[in-house]
Amino acid sequence: MKKIAVLTSGGDAPGMNAAIRAVVRTGLERGWEVFGVKLGFAGLIEGNINPMYDRSVSEIMQRAGTILGSARCQEFMEIEGRAKALQYLEENGIEALVVIGGNGSQTGSYALTQMGFPVVGIASTIDNDLYGSEMTIGVDSALNVALEAIDRLKVTASSHKRAFLIEVMGRHCGYIALMTGIAGGAEAIVLPEVETNPEELAAEILKAREKGKAHAIIVVAEGARYNAEELSHYFKLNRDKLGFDLRVSILGHIQRGGTPTLFDRMLATRFGAAATECLDRGEDGVLVGLGRGEIITTPLAEVVSNQKKLDLSLLHMNRALAR
């Protein structure tokens, strides 16, 4: 192996920079040339690729986002787009690609491997919904940002005896809502994985009021059947059913821009180093992830055809705790 390229794709995630740094420096350490692709797969199609050196990745570990930039690239979903990217890689003698990203990105990685190009994926998304890794880069930082917001909202909720609907990210997955809901002591957690009826939810909140609670925190995943906006619409029309004055807070992209935690920097560094190790031993077409605390690899074919499961026993545990 002489020349490899690295890119970040999909939603940015705190820790991506630490992964880029690890890929670049461990690649250079092996005596390879390492190239950085700007703006994900879009940069690959346009040939927006530059050589990277030790100093190109100095002082980036502590920065959220990605120094390479990221994009969701529709053109890469088409075979013509991928063929253009492949042509560019081959013309420039690049022999393998490291793709740092989540589900959509690894679907792109898999499609490239299907066309015969060696790719190693690195599990990175704040949603933590990627099969093949129990934790993905960025989720720990995003969880901590969301949790801090919940803690703050709880204080003001108590002062005013209010209920708060707090919507967190996660796309179709309830992981962020479940974790921050439990750690934030929420009275209710609304997930895409569990059908929640607004009327039953209101009854649960009313019960909290009757039990003497000064506040009610409802953490809602953005992908739930009823999101925060829809639930608040229902609650406003049925205020007597809730028993609290209601406020809504949608955390949105704030969750993606936090300083990477130590956990994310370590995870990303281990993943980045493992990716070049894989390429060195000729293992490609795989995702580098975490399994029982260890670095593992999973074939991309398996990653894209399986869905990660959420541990719903935790939701039942929280129902018992929110007394």
Q: Which of 126, 205, 220, 224 binds ligand F6P (CB under 6 A)?
A: 126
Q: Which one, 168 or 315, has the nearer CB to ligand F6P?
A: 168
- β-strand partners of 221: 168
Q: Which is nearer to ligand F6P, 118 or 170 (CB)?
A: 170
The beta-strand segments (E) located in 42-187 are 49-52, 96-101, 119-123, 162-168
Fill in the amino acid letter for 107: T
Choose among 43, 57, 137: nearest CA to 94. 43
Selected from 68, 169, 251, 274, the binder of ligand F6P by CB under 6 A is: 169
Placement of tokens 């704030």 in the chain: 254
Judged by DSSP in three states, 259 sits in coil
Binding residues for ligand F6P, how many (CB under 6 A)?
11
Amino acid, single-letter form, for residue 316 = H
* The amino acid at 42: A
Site for ligand F6P contains 256 (CB under 6 A): yes
Under the binding rule (CB under 6 A), the answer on residue 39 touching ligand F6P is: no
Beta strands at 286-291 and 294-299: parallel, antiparallel or unpaired: antiparallel
Instruction: Please report how close the Cβ of residue 43 comes to ligand F6P at its closest, in angstroms.
Output: 17
Is 127 a known active-site residue? yes
Among 25, 171, 215, 265, interactor with ligand F6P by CB under 6 A: 171
Give the range of 167-175, 224-232, 266-274, 288-296 binding ligand F6P by CB under 6 A: 167-175
Candidate list 12, 54, 127, 284, residue with the active-site label: 127
Q: Minimal CA–CA distance to 90: which of 47, 51, 129, 132?
A: 47
Cα–Cα separations (whole angstroms), residue 78 to 45, 83, 104 = 11, 9, 13
**CA separation (Å) from 81 to 74, 105, 114?**
9, 14, 14
Interface region with ligand F6P, contact rule CB under 6 A, candidates 93-101, 145-153, 163-171, 228-236: 163-171
Choices 19-27, 80-88, 113-121, 169-177; region in contact with ligand F6P by CB under 6 A: 169-177
Q: How far apart are CA 181 and CA 155, in angstroms?
A: 15
Report 66-105 residues binding ligand F6P (CB under 6 A).
Answer: 72, 102
Q: Going residue by residue from 280 to 309, which x/- string records binding to ligand F6P, judged by CB under 6 A? A: ------------------------------
Please report how the helices 175-183 and 139-160 are oriented relative to each other, as an axis angle in degrees rounded to 10.
50
Q: Binder to ligand F6P among 108, 132, 170, 289 (CB under 6 A)?
A: 170
Catalytic residues: 127
* Binding residues for ligand F6P (CB under 6 A): 11, 72, 102, 125-127, 169-171, 222, 256
